């Protein structure tokens, strides 16, 4: 497949010759197995490029064949990932959530068979088993993505692009794409692992910590959580610390519901007398490490932050504060992370949080910084990826190199090398699924689909967080076979393990599931979906044990909603 440089400017696609006529010069370079394209602006005026990358030459190429399959990768944890046949429709994203699912929502064609968008990487597979993977191994400056059209004969269109987002490129300026890696192979997991290893190396992935084990408030108490709820569960866990399994629980994660308003992260509401300092002290006094949920770029319209620092807010083209979402009756604004004063604020905020003894933070809704069509950054030369990364870099400076940072609802690629763990799926739910849900919606099958398809990232780019283990039989619609399935999925994922039930109300029937998950924490590795190319979600999962053994789990996402686990090969 021959790929040639291409530039999108003012809605028009230009090849290298056409771009040069306008004083814009595209140069491709290759080094250490990756390729990049540089764009030099000799036009004598500022330009605002939209996309820069590669386009497949017209006609058939060396990888064309009837019956191609295509692996779609996620932009962020909730974005659907998995295999599409050449004549399938793309995943059915919710129109209202589309801007959060893919990096280039304007390029998405709902219902058009064979036309797909994929972020970060993609993979083509021929019927003979030959595969070609395309993946960006860096993303500090631009989101890398792929736009592909398959037909009965093979690849009709193929673009590997880096989003320039219309950021200003002044006269005499120069920008580059991110690094594009192309790999061929016949073994899926080896190919995906080789890509992730190169991605990790090129982006400086962090590997400081073992997968955390803890308890999280969200999936039982949600936003109604109070300090008394946290204390009750800590007391239960502390009372069971001599148990060889429950003694593994280290972190107590206080999730959403403690803050007075989004953006006002220094004080707590009246459900938390004594504020964050008391929460941290109560956890440490019982021998636990306190962890905290924060939405670092979110600013609620009635917050003190919005009133005191309106100049810090991201603006739309008219100059009004940009508000991409609502929150419990209020509008939500966005901190503009390209502003140096906002970066200083984030650095100071997380230094102060760390000073409370909190050494684990969950950063949520971070996609709000870059899923912002029509927004205008303070730094007009900055892309969305740069804005996101600058914010995370400021947080890391403040929180310290030895603090644990979990990314949640944030695009994957720009934060490699900054975070320690990443949510690998959409939210788990206390129900199986609901009628009419879209492919990114929170439900058990969608979560499992992303957990297993993203397993190749675990231990390479970061620690995968499959979301919390919930097994309870109160405040839930999940039957016993369904929670058994979810417990197996969380355990085999081999990443973080956070409990999220009210410990004192777990029944004698379901408590052993928690005990089993804790006993196997750190046991499983190299999870892989055996039938990745046959089914979405994959139903046959294999994982390896530390003693050299392996298991095969067969998941039923259809009528029975259960799982059967046996030794691999049997």
Tell me the pLDDT tens digit for each residue of 244-286.
999 999 999 999 999 999 999 999 999 999 999 999 999 999 9
Please give the average per-residue pLDDT across 525-548, as a whole number. 96
CA distance 246 to 266: 32
Element (H, E) at 115: strand 115-119
Helix H, strand E, coil C: the string for 143-186 is CEEEEEEEECCEEEEEEEEEECCCCCECCCCEEECCCEEEEEEC
| Confidence at residue 91, expressed as pLDDT on a 0 to 100 scale | 98
pLDDT > 70? residue 356: yes
Question: Which pLDDT tens digit goes with each residue over 307-318?
Answer: 999 999 999 999
294 touches 398 (CB < 8 A): no
pLDDT digits (tens, 9 = 90+) for 443-499: 999 999 999 999 999 999 999 999 999 999 999 999 999 999 999 999 999 999 999
Say if residues 500 and 549 touch (Cβ distance below 8 Å): no
* Alpha helix segments (H runs only) across 309-411: 340-355, 384-399
Q: What is d(CA 508, CA 501) in angstroms, rounded to the nearest whole number?
A: 14
**What confidence tens digit (pLDDT) does each residue in 155-203 have?**
999 999 999 999 999 999 999 999 999 999 999 999 999 999 999 999 9
Start and end residues for every CATH 3.20.20.70 domain found in the chain: 213-522
Distance CA 365, CA 296 (A): 8
- Predicted confidence (pLDDT) at residue 547 exceeds the cutoff of 90: no
Report phi then psi at 222, rounded to 5.
Answer: 50, -140
C-alpha to C-alpha distance for 523 and 257, rounded to whole angstroms: 33
Percent of all residues in the chain with a pLDDT value above 70, rounded to a whole number:
100
State the pLDDT at residue 546.
87
Q: CATH top-level class for 213-522?
A: alpha beta
Residue corresponding to tokens 């969380």: 490
CA end-to-end distance (rounded Å), the chain? 41
Instruction: Tell me the per-residue pLDDT of 127-138, one tens digit each, with 9 for 90 and over.
Output: 999 999 999 999
CA distance 181 to 568: 33
For 223-233, what is each residue's pLDDT tens digit? 999 999 999 99
- Opening angle at CA 90, ends 84 and 91, nearest 5: 95
Q: Identify the pLDDT of residue 568.
A: 74
Contact 520, 495 (CB under 8 A): no
Compute, in degrees rounded to 10, the torsion defined by CA atoms 507, 509, 513, 515. 70
Among 26-30, 372-376, 434-438, the range scoring the smallest mean pLDDT is 372-376
- Tokens 């502003």 belong to residue: 339
* Complete DSSP assignment for 170-226: -TT-EEE---EEEEEES-HHHHHHHHHHHHHHHHT-----PPPEEEESHHHHGGG--
> What pLDDT, on the 0 to 100 scale, is given for residue 329?
96
pLDDT at 85 over 90: yes
Closest CA to 454 of 75, 158, 130: 75
- Of 516, 538, 517, which is closest to residue 527 (Cα–Cα)? 538
The span from the CA of 439 to the CA of 221, in Å, is 26
Residues 317-334 have pLDDT tens digits of 999 999 999 999 999 999
User: According to the model, what pLDDT value does residue 335 have?
Assistant: 98
Token look-up 């499959």 returns 466
- What local confidence, expressed as pLDDT, does residue 374 receive? 86
What's the CA gap between 496 and 249, in Å, rounded?
Answer: 11
Taking alpha carbons only, the member of 396, 394, 383, 455 closest to residue 422 is 455
What is the total residue count of the chain? 570
Report which secondary-structure segment, H or E, holds 272: none
365 backbone φψ class: left, alpha, beta (φ>0; ψ -120 to 50): left
Q: What is the mean pLDDT of the chain?
A: 97
pLDDT tens readout for residues 25-55: 999 999 999 999 999 999 999 999 999 999 9
Query: Considering only CA atoms, which of 535, 533, 461 is closest in space to residue 131?
Result: 533
The span from the CA of 161 to the CA of 177, in Å, is: 8
Provide the token pair at 558: 């259809």
Question: Residue 570 pLDDT > 60, yes or no?
Answer: no
Percent of the chain clearing pLDDT 90 (strictly above): 98
Cα angle 400, 404, 406 (rounded to 5 degrees) comes to 125
């Amino acid at each position: 497949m021959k790929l040639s440089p291409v530039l999108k400017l003012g809605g028009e696609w230009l090849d290298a010759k056409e771009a040069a006529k306008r004083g814009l010069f595209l140069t491709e370079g290759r080094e250490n197995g990756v390729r990049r394209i540089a764009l030099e602006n000799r036009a004598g005026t500022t330009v605002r490029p939209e996309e820069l990358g590669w386009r497949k030459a017209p006609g058939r190429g060396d990888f064309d064949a009837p019956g191609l399959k295509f692996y779609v990768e996620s932009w962020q944890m909730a974005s659907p990932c998995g295999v599409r046949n050449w004549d399938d429709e793309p995943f059915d994203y919710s129109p209202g959530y589309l801007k959060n699912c893919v990096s280039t929502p304007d390029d998405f064609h709902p219902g058009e068979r064979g036309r797909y968008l994929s972020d970060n990487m993609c993979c083509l597979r021929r019927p003979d088993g030959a595969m070609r993977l395309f993946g960006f191994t860096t993303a500090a400056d631009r989101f890398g993505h792929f736009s592909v059209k398959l037909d009965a004969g093979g690849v009709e269109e193929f673009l590997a692009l880096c989003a320039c987002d219309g950021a200003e490129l002044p006269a005499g300026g120069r920008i580059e794409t991110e690094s594009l890696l192309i790999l061929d192979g016949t073994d899926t997991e080896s190919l995906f692992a080789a890509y992730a290893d190169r991605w990790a190396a090129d982006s400086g992935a962090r590997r400081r910590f073992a997968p955390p084990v803890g308890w999280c408030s969200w999936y039982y108490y949600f936003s109604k959580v109070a300090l008394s709820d946290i204390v009750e569960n800590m007391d239960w866990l502390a009372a069971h610390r001599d148990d060889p399994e429950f003694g593994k629980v280290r972190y107590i994660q206080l999730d959403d519901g403690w803050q007075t308003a989004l953006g006002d992260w220094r004080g707590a509401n009246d459900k938390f007398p004594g504020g964050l300092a008391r929460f941290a002290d109560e956890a440490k006094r019982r021998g636990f490490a306190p962890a905290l949920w924060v939405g670092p770029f979110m600013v609620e319209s009635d917050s003190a932050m919005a009133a005191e620092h309106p100049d810090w807010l991201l603006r739309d083209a008219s100059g009004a504060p940009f508000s991409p979402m609502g929150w419990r009756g209020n509008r939500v604004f966005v901190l503009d992370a390209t502003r140096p004063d906002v970066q200083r604020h984030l650095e100071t905020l997380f230094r102060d949080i760390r000073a409370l003894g909190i050494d684990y933070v969950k950063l949520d809704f971070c996609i709000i910084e870059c899923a912002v069509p029509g927004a205008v950054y303070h730094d007009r030369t900055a892309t969305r990826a740069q804005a996101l990364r600058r914010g995370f870099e400021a947080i890391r400076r403040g929180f310290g190199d030895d603090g644990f940072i979990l990314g949640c609802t944030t695009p994957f690629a720009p934060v490699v090398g900054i975070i320690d763990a990443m949510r690998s799926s959409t939210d788990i739910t206390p129900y199986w699924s609901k009628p009419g849900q879209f492919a990114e919606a929170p439900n058990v099958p969608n979560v499992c689909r992303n957990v297993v398809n993203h397993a190749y990232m675990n231990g390479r780019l970061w620690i995968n967080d499959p979301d919390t283990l919930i097994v309870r039989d109160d405040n839930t619609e999940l039957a016993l076979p369904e929670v058994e399935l979810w417990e197996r999925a969380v355990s085999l994922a081999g990443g973080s393990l956070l409990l999220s039930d009210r410990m004192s109300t777990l029944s004698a029937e379901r408590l052993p599931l928690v005990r089993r998950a804790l006993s196997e924490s750190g046991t499983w590795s190299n999870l892989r979906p055996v039938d990745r190319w046959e089914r979405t979600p994959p139903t046959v999962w294999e994982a390896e044990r530390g003693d050299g053994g392996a298991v095969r789990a067969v998941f039923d996402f259809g009528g029975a909603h259960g799982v059967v686990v046996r030794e691999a090969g049997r």
